[in-house]
Amino acid sequence: KQEVTQIPAALSVPEGENLVLNCSFTDSAIYNLQWFRQDPGKGLTSLLLIQSSQREQTSGRLNASLDKSSGRSTLYIAASQPGDSATYLCAVHYGQNFVFGPGTRLSVLP
Amino acid sequence: EAGVAQSPRYKIIEKRQSVAFWCNPISGHATLYWYQQILGQGPKLLIQFQNNGVVDDSQLPKDRFSAERLKGVDSTLKIQPAKLEDSAVYLCASSARLAGPTYEQYFGPGTRLTVT
């Protein structure tokens, strides 16, 4: 069964800290992995997409890495800001099927 | 480029009533997904369409849920009759093929359903 887990479930940090969110998946035969952000009451916004042949992707203060062999991806957020407060979800792409993790709820305190 | 549109944004119904949700994907996206997201959990796939054909509906409770995508564009998801446990956010997404087997998903704002 293809399962995706995310650790931690929730995280609270002071503004300015660097932080790492973790995503683990059981089936390493992935096509790609996508990180999303979800604000309360809103849909999902795509942050980064890493293809299975890639090791990492960067966008501004965000860096996502992928290690297929160990079934892990990390999302690194540099110099966190209160506006980064949201739930972060990873989705693993198998064929045309996307399997989502439960998310990490991030609070960045001013 | 217009995003994925969904309506209504919010719906409150009593149990045993019926409800329908509408989704208009991004123009040109052949694949459309309906997800159910219960509070505190990640989205769970209900049904996936490729054009107007069903690719995966293995997690759709077919005794009460139905979905269609006529003409391969807009889609509707219906629940009849609703149960208390159907209270959730219903998300619609469409995907574009970037290269080879790589698809990127785009989500609508969701419909928050409350069943009382």
Cβ of A46 within 8 Å of Cβ of B4? The answer is no
For the segment A85-110, what is each residue's pLDDT rounded down to a tens digit? 999 999 999 876 889 999 999 999 99
CB B21 within 8 A of CB B9: no
CB A4 within 8 A of CB A25: yes
Is the minimum CB–CB distance between A51 and chain B shorter than 8 Å? yes
Angle among Cα A68, A36, A47 to the nearest 5 degrees reads 90
CB A17 within 8 A of CB A65: no
Is a pLDDT exceeding 70 seen at residue B78?
yes
Q: State chain A's mean pLDDT as an integer.
A: 94
Is a pLDDT exceeding 80 seen at residue B100?
no
Per-residue confidence (pLDDT) for residue B111, from 0 to 100: 96
Per-residue confidence (pLDDT) for residue B72, from 0 to 100: 82
Q: State chain B's mean pLDDT as an integer.
A: 92
Cα A71 to Cα B38: distance, rounded to the nearest angstrom? 25
Cβ of B45 within 8 Å of Cβ of A4? The answer is no
> Which residues of B sit within 8 Å Cβ distance of A?
4, 6, 31, 33, 35, 40-45, 48, 50, 55-56, 91, 93, 95, 98-99, 101-110, 112
CB B31 within 8 A of CB B94: yes
Q: What percent of chain A has pLDDT above 90? A: 81
Is the minimum CB–CB distance between A13 and chain B shorter than 8 Å? no
- Could you tell me the pLDDT band of residue B1, with boundaries at 50, 70 and 90? low
For the segment A17-44, what is each residue's pLDDT rounded down to a tens digit? 999 999 999 998 898 999 999 998 888 9
Average pLDDT over residues B5-13: 97
Is a pLDDT exceeding 90 seen at residue B102?
no
In this predicted model, which residue has the larger pLDDT, B52 or A79? A79
Cβ of A97 within 8 Å of Cβ of B48? The answer is yes
**Distance of residue A93 Cα from the nearest chain B Cα, in angstroms:** 8
Tell me which residues of chain A, numbers 56 to 85, contact chain B at a CB-CB cutoff of 8 Å: none
Residue whose entry in the numeric block shows the structure tokens 């090791």: A55
Of the candidates A95, A72, A44, which has an alpha carbon nearest to the alpha carbon of residue B31? A95
The values of phi and psi at residue A82, to 5°, are -55, -30
User: In this complex, how many residue pairs, one in chain A and one in chain B, have their CB atoms less than 8 Å apart?
Assistant: 65
Which of helix, strand or coil describes residue A83? Answer: helix
Neighbours of A1 (CB within 10 A): 5
- B89 φ/ψ sector (left φ>0, alpha ψ -120 to 50, else beta): beta
With beta carbons under 8 A apart, name residues in chain A contacting B103.
31-32, 93, 96
SS (H, E, C) B67-96: EECHHHCCEEEEECCCCHHHCEEEEEEEEE
Is a pLDDT exceeding 70 seen at residue B35?
yes
Going through A1-110 in order, the beta strands assigned E by DSSP cover 4-7, 10-14, 19-25, 32-38, 44-51, 56-59, 62-67, 72-77, 86-94, 97-100, 104-109
- Could you tell me the pLDDT band of residue A2, with boundaries at 50, 70 and 90? confident
